[in-house]
Amino acid sequence: MVIETLKALFGRDLSKLKTEIELYKHDDNLWKVENQIANSAGNLCLHLIGNLNTYIGAEIGKTNYIRDRELEFSLKDISKAELIKKIEETKIIVESSLDKLTTEQLENEFPILVFENKTSIGYMLIHLATHLTYHLGQINYHRRLID
CATH number of the CATH domain containing 60: 1.20.120.450
pLDDT of residue 142: 96
Dihedral, CA atoms, 51, 105, 133, 66, nearest 10 degrees?
10
Which pTM does this prediction carry? 0.96
The residue segments making up the domain with residue 140 are 2-146
Total of domains in the chain: 1
| Tens digit of each residue's pLDDT, the chain (147 residues) | 899 999 999 999 999 999 999 999 999 999 999 888 889 999 999 999 999 999 999 999 999 999 999 999 999 989 999 999 999 999 999 999 999 999 999 999 999 999 999 999 999 999 999 999 999 999 999 999 998
Residue 21 near residue 147 (C-beta atoms within 8 A) = no
pLDDT of residue 37: 85
pLDDT of residue 130: 98
